[in-house]
Amino acid sequence: MGYTYINGSVTAPKGFTASGIHCGIRKNKTKRDLALIFCEKKCTAAAVYTTNLVKSSPITVTKKNLEDGYAQAVIVNSGNANTCNADGIEKAELMCSLAAEKLGISAEDIIVGSTGVIGQILPIEPIRDGMEQLVAELSADGATNAAEAIMTTDTISKEVAVETTIAGKTVRVGGISKGSGMIHPNMATMLCFVTTDAAVSSDMIRKAVKTAADKTFNMISIDGDTSTNDTLSVMASGLAGNPEITEENEDYFVFLEALTAVCRDLARMMAKDGEGATKLLTCIVSGAKTGADAKGVAKSVICSSLLKAAMFGADANWGRVLCAIGYSGCDVDVEKVDVAFASKAGKIEVCKNGAGIEFSEEIAKTILVEDEIEILVDLNDGEGTAEAYGCDLTYEYVKINGDYRT
């Protein structure tokens, strides 16, 4: 591992400050609803977005603003998704303009995001009235406030930062994310904002963010719904002082490893904080004919509502794993498949060569009552490997989504 974890998140890299306030979009005054991330200099930047045909207006505006490969700030509100609104583009552009005016930068250098209820008009007045406070509170200690301000049904804020060395220079990568519902593979799957002080060209940032997303955020599923607002963006200030990364050389892969680590940790946090969830599920697939087959099987297993329900009940129903593998559409010889369940309480094999084997239900129960479960699938047919992340399906999930708007 070529990186180490450090305290902080989006303000850990050089040049970045952040803030988060309650401006009034949410009725609950105890919840922050407006976040800002700012860099003292223009950054190379890139983003990936939801594949849902219904996309939020902020995505349209952000795509346009990032066409030149640069950005200097991120402005995000929660409580209202600004999606399916006739004035959505206008409001997203206004958010950029209001922030740009107070920051003294161009509105085209701002990434904008929104999250919350779909189809309700976003009131711009609270954002306009809160912008002065939001900018005034920018600080190196403001990352946690920003992380809290982008939360919706999340129960915890999600932050992480790592440090690595590139060409003798210390480089940091940090991120915040939100997401616990409407989470399903096909990037993006949430809102995530990553910063780094590495010097990386726009082209290489674009390549790195796609590669990292495919290995991490695109391997999460909480409920099978791909959201309309999902965005993963990365801004690189270059203030670490390393020679600019302009090709896929050793420096690039060191940077990519650090970026992927940040994205993977945030992805796991999101999966564990799935709406109503009590357990983080990780499906680890080995022995696949290809990497694509491994990813397809891992995703299929982690997306199975029946398996998710079984994990909630600590039921070692391995047949549901085989069922999900069978309809994955991947090239699998089911008569070679081995399955085991594992947690900090131990490991138990439940299936060998596609058939059940004797095992202790009592020991299996002890393993599956833990809050982090590994579903180990060995296809015994090649070198392909993959991991996918999800959570159990609980009564609470239905309760949360039965009255989400009210």
pLDDT of residue 225: 46
CA angle 376, 312, 178 (to 5 degrees): 85
pLDDT of residue 52: 67
Token output for 43: 């950054």
CA angle 272, 277, 282 (to 5 degrees): 45
CB 324 within 8 A of CB 304: yes
Please provide the DSSP assignment of 282-294 as one string: EEEEEEESSHHHH
pLDDT of residue 336: 98
Token output for 249: 């050389």
Distance CA 263, CA 193 (A): 10
pLDDT of residue 54: 64
pLDDT of residue 53: 64
Ordered mean pLDDT values, 10 residues apiece, the chain (406 residues): 93 98 93 97 93 78 97 96 91 98 98 89 96 98 97 87 98 90 48 96 96 88 54 96 98 98 91 81 97 95 93 96 96 97 98 97 97 97 95 82 64
pLDDT of residue 186: 46
Whether 280-402 and 3-272 are alike in CATH topology: the answer is no
Fold of domain 3-272: L-amino peptidase D-ALA esterase/amidase (3.60.70)
pLDDT of residue 83: 85
Identified catalytic residue from 17, 144, 152, 189 = 189
Pairing of strands 372-378, 280-288: parallel
pLDDT of residue 217: 86
CB 356 within 8 A of CB 255: no
**152 an active-site residue?**
no
In the chain, the amino acid numbered 284 is I
Distance CA 176, CA 157 (A): 8
Q: Which residues fall within 8 angstroms of residue 142, CB to CB, at 6 or more apart?
A: 11, 17, 18, 19, 20
- Quote the crossing angle between the two packed helices 291-303 and 319-326, to the nearest 10°: 130
- Per the document, the length of the chain is 406
**Cis peptide leading into 277, omega within 30 of 0?**
no
In the chain, the amino acid numbered 202 is S
pLDDT of residue 268: 86
pLDDT of residue 333: 97
CB 185 within 8 A of CB 404: no
CATH of domain 280-402: 3.10.20.340
Domain boundaries, the chain: 3-272, 280-402
